[in-house]
Amino acid sequence: MAGDTQRTLVGWQGISVRVPADWTLGAVGGERKAGYLRIDDERMPRLQVKWSQGRIDLARKRAEYIKRLTTGRPKLARLRRASAGVEVETDLRAVSRRSKPRKEFLSFAWRGRECGMGLVWNCEVCQRAVIAQVTWLPQEGLRETTQEVLESLEDHGEKGWQVWAVDGLAFLAPEQHELKGWKRLTGYLELRLGGGGQADNLPHLRVARWGMVPLVMGSQSVGEWFEKENRPRRDASWQVQEMAIKGHPGVAAWGEQRRLAGGLKTRMVRKLRRQPRPLFAACAWHCPESNRLYQVETVEEQSRRGAPVATGETLKGVADSIACHEGAGA
């Protein structure tokens, strides 16, 4: 493990980090304003990150965290055992200042039955407060790996786009998009994003990936598979054109979203107000190198001020950012 240079990207709610390839997303909670992320391997939880909006007292937060490490919690026997004989170090710099520009941070580390290292910081850019720690066993010697992981940890995107990455599916989405739902099944992963609050006019976004392609696709072309996969849907109508996507066999689709709720009254109001139906756009492709299927789709709502949102730009930006195999993606 200590000498493993393979890394995988994990991204969630604006938090992104590169971790060893055998570490995977273990648990998530909360939302963009305040939440929790845990990354595990087959042995134990490895990385834990908590975030909240607004500045915190770093020294106080670190002291509270260290107290829990050294005293444990009375109701948790495991923590009581782990806290026995813990040595804490605060006079260290877990990462370089260069790796955390425009962040005020403090470091901490401990050694006992388990070892760990962490950071607590305030970010001047996104106004987030973050506390993060990596844990390992003394015999593993993961201090150097831990520093590399913490060096890669970020709490906001760049140039208006942020990373979403789970189980090797990584893409960029406009940072105003909020998570609306996700599915994580054997051979299938899906994330759905959309605007919220003042950004409710943003295109709705869905990114999906299928594994086990021979079972999913059989002998069909991508176009045939796309039509069969999406035929049961009643929320959109579209036309399809087969074309290369990211150099792979694929399709592009465009059309309209159908309104399922509201019945005749809703349709009459829309007609009287002359409101156009939201636009639907999608692309899908099969990557032979990874033997996976991908689909990206957007639905464009019209803003309250009547200015349309560029669905095509969002669709292209998201699709271009997906690295479906080594060397692909932006």
Count of residues making up the chain? 330
Q: Where is average pLDDT lowest: 142-156, 252-266, 313-327?
A: 252-266
Residue 304 has pLDDT above 50, yes or no: no
Overall average pLDDT of the 224-233 stretch = 89
> Quick one: which H or E segment has residue 11?
strand 7-12
d(CA 201, CA 279): 12
State pLDDT tens for residues 170-193.
999 999 899 999 999 999 999 999
d(CA 66, CA 88): 7
- pTM of the entire predicted model: 0.85
Q: Of 325, 241, 248, 326, which is closest to residue 282 (Cα–Cα)?
A: 241
> What pLDDT, on a 0 to 100 scale, did the predictor assign at position 327?
62
> Quick one: which H or E segment has residue 60?
helix 58-71
Residue type, 201: N
Cα 14 versus chain centre, distance: 7
Q: Where is average pLDDT lowest: 42-51, 169-178, 298-307?
A: 298-307
Q: Where is average pLDDT lowest: 136-150, 258-272, 286-300?
A: 258-272
> What pLDDT, on a 0 to 100 scale, did the predictor assign at position 223?
93
> What pLDDT, on a 0 to 100 scale, did the predictor assign at position 210?
97
Domains and CATH numbers, the chain: 7-152 (3.40.1000), 161-321 (3.40.1000)
CA distances, 138 to each of 30, 143, 301 (Å): 32, 10, 54
